[in-house]
């Protein structure tokens, strides 16, 4: 079963998950100042970050290493 809607915990409203084919990443997300966390800027962004666990501890650890190596965050987003 695929999820296309999720609850935005900040507004307690049901919102559609981010669709990269139809929506712009920069509209809904930003990188934290240190480049290791994805921040949701909109209800869609926040709900997507939560639903997809985009800041789970494993990926955050990896991003720290990628930042140190100069590979992250991507310059084109």
Digit-coded pLDDT (tens) for 6-53: 888 888 999 999 999 999 999 999 999 999 999 999 999 999 999 999
Is residue 69 very low, low, confident or very high in pLDDT (cuts 50, 70, 90)? very high
Query: Per-residue pLDDT for 1 more than 70?
Result: no
Query: Per-residue pLDDT for 77 more than 70?
Result: no
The per-residue pLDDT of the chain, averaged, comes to 93
Is residue 66 very low, low, confident or very high in pLDDT (cuts 50, 70, 90)? very high
Q: What is the DSSP code string of the chain?
A: ----EEEETTTTEEEEPP-TTTS-HHHHEEE-TTS--EEE-SHHHHHHHHHTTTT-HHHHHHHHHHHHHT--S-TT-
Q: What is the reported pTM?
A: 0.86
């Amino acid at each position: 079963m695929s999820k296309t809607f999720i609850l935005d915990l900040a507004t307690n409203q049901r919102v559609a998950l981010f669709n990269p084919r139809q929506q712009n990443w920069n509209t809904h997300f930003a990188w934290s100042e240190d480049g290791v966390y994805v921040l949701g800027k909109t209800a869609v962004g926040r709900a997507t970050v939560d639903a997809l666990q985009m800041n789970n501890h494993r990926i955050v650890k990896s991003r720290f290493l990628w930042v140190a190596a100069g590979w992250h965050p991507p310059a084109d987003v």
